[in-house]
Amino acid sequence: MPEAARETLFDSFVQGKGGEKYSRPDTGLGLTISKKKIVEKHGGTIAFTTELDCGTVFYFDLAKINLDASAAYETDYTEYSTAA
């Protein structure tokens, strides 16, 4: 990945130039949605490492939540039930 692309990679409608071999129609929203709508909403971070002409690896970190075992099963599903 070129150095110039790294700064705007997570911006909306940005598409990387992968060459004709990887060329296909795309919206350029996948990384934006991953970062701002999923990972950051869960208190995490997303980043990548890259090596020119070798490839790029994306990774994310999320905080581990410790739940009491009984609390995990105390969900109220009444709002999802349908009226008879």
pLDDT at 3: 78
Cα angle 79-35-38, degrees, rounded to a multiple of 5: 15
In the DSSP assignment, the letter for residue 57 is: E
pLDDT at 46: 92
Q: Of 1.10.10.10, 3.30.450.20, 3.40.50.1820, 3.30.565.10, which CATH number belongs to 3-80?
A: 3.30.565.10
Q: Where are the domains of the chain?
A: 3-80
| Residue 75 in this model has a pLDDT that exceeds 60 | no
pTM of the model: 0.58
Q: What share of the chain is helix, strand, coil (3-state, %, to 5)?
A: 30, 15, 50
